[in-house]
Chains A and B, each alone.
Chain A
């Protein structure tokens, strides 16, 4: 720790990941390096997408930020406090690929769940859940059961629930991965509207390049084995973004830029695999 660190870190970061590593014990005892040397700073109100092929550790990085798993080395701080402290302070809202709504609760009661857990009084719970459902335009479905809703609507309920505690950070793990393309594009617009209405910081994991570019202020490109950040791409498309944004010249440029960046990471990996293949064949011959 250097004492003479500049105090004027003006754009106060919300998330600071410093030299984070994550090593899992895989099957048959060998160690799997899921993340290596991750450094990432996320500013307040940013919309960050983590993109990369399967096994690049993007979900693991999301879980490190949310203190759902702890790093094997390095640190994660949220507004200057540990991720663990931030979780206990209920600074996170989280949305998964599956909506994880409970059938034994109505839509409204599902949204109220985090409020119940944190001991918000009944009247306020009701009032805040109603406001959240209004935000995702599902007020008419407050009394419905989750299974009576379409997939997209269920995911909107999950977003409402994640925002119910007014969290500093919204963590989203491929939230629209299970939806059809049309619904997905509509949900993207919905999410941007909600993000701009709440001003929360979003960390968004996705497989989809267009989705990442359309939503984000910055795209974090990752590559596997070991999982690491290979590129940071600023998305300078103007807000508010609309369906027309997807027609812009700059949008296509950025999509191409992300794609090439991903391919560069992949190419490196393909080279490594080819080499590994040659090694296996050579061993096979000598045996």
Chain B
């Protein structure tokens, strides 16, 4: 009996240990590269006496990060609000227009080429215009530019996801006399989810970029964009770099949030299968 038990238990333990190691193994190269990169940076700055206004050493940046943490964090909170606001409006708009466009073929044919074309132009160039429309001190000006950046990829991917359905799947639904609404709920929307999440991942980065670049052209002092610009102007480059770390943190956090949401909403998707069976 006991022999039988160990025979059952052991493989699963071994399996668990192996998968843990595999996970560590997956991350190890990336961590090593990051550490190596910082090390080379630090040593290079010290060895070649690189001027701090060209490239501050990692340790100097870390120092500024610690010293000015609360004031940069306050600026980051302001910028994050803009990015998240823009993200919400842009995604909501993109989904809404995407669904409408996908539903009516004539609307799709009329709108989609424009959307694709507009998506190809650098919308960030409109940042000063948005500042002018909504006011420099109004976070709505940055939300607008972030939302505009986010809108098009979300809309285009929503349309693609809702319309690029296997023809046989639609015939299958037709053979069961399913209504348009049923087809939408049971086939088109699940089919669109991977497309939409791809767009959302791009959107998190775009929203962060939109907010910060918008701030470069004018914003309250307590914003990441202004913080970076002003301290660069005063030769406090360590503080600019520390603010950039915060900017990266906003982008990465939003990205991870979408990743988490994706796992919750579509755990069945192919991209999560690598560690199963």
Contact = CB atoms under 8 A, between A and B. Distances in A.
A245 to B, nearest CB: 31
Interface in B231-275: 266, 268-270, 273
A114 B176 contact: yes
A87 B173 CA distance: 11
Contacts of A117: 173, 176-178, 182, 186
Given A96-B168, A102-B187, A102-B190, A145 B268 contact: yes
B179 to A, nearest CB: 8
B177 A87 contact: yes
B277 interface: yes
A92 B171 CA distance: 12
Interface secondary structure of B, over-half rule:
helix
B277 A148 contact: yes
A144 to B, nearest CB: 10
B178 A94 contact: no
B23 interface: no
A191 interface: no
Interface string B149-185: 0000000000000000010110111111110001000
Contacts of A92: 175
A104 B273 contact: no
Nearest to A145: B268
Contacts of A145: 268
B186 A116 contact: yes
A64 B270 CA distance: 35
A165 B178 CA distance: 13
Given A96-B168, A116-B186, A117-B182, A103 B174 contact: no
Given A103-B268, A104-B266, A96 B171 contact: yes
Interface in A78-135: 87-90, 92-94, 96, 98, 100, 102-105, 113-114, 116-118
A96 B172 CA distance: 9
A89 B177 CA distance: 8
Contacts of B177: 87-90, 117-118
Contacts of B187: 102
A148 B268 CA distance: 11
Contacts of B166: 98, 100
Interface of A: 63, 66, 68, 87-90, 92-94, 96, 98, 100, 102-105, 113-114, 116-118, 145, 147-148, 165, 171
27 contacts: A63-B171, A68-B171, A68-B174, A68-B175, A87-B174, A87-B177, A88-B177, A90-B177, A94-B175, A96-B171, A98-B168, A102-B187, A102-B190, A103-B268, A104-B190, A104-B268, A105-B268, A113-B176, A114-B176, A117-B173, A117-B178, A117-B182, A117-B186, A118-B177, A147-B270, A147-B273, A148-B277
Which 3 pairs, one residue from A and one from B, show the smallest C-beta to C-beta distance? A114-B176, A94-B175, A104-B190
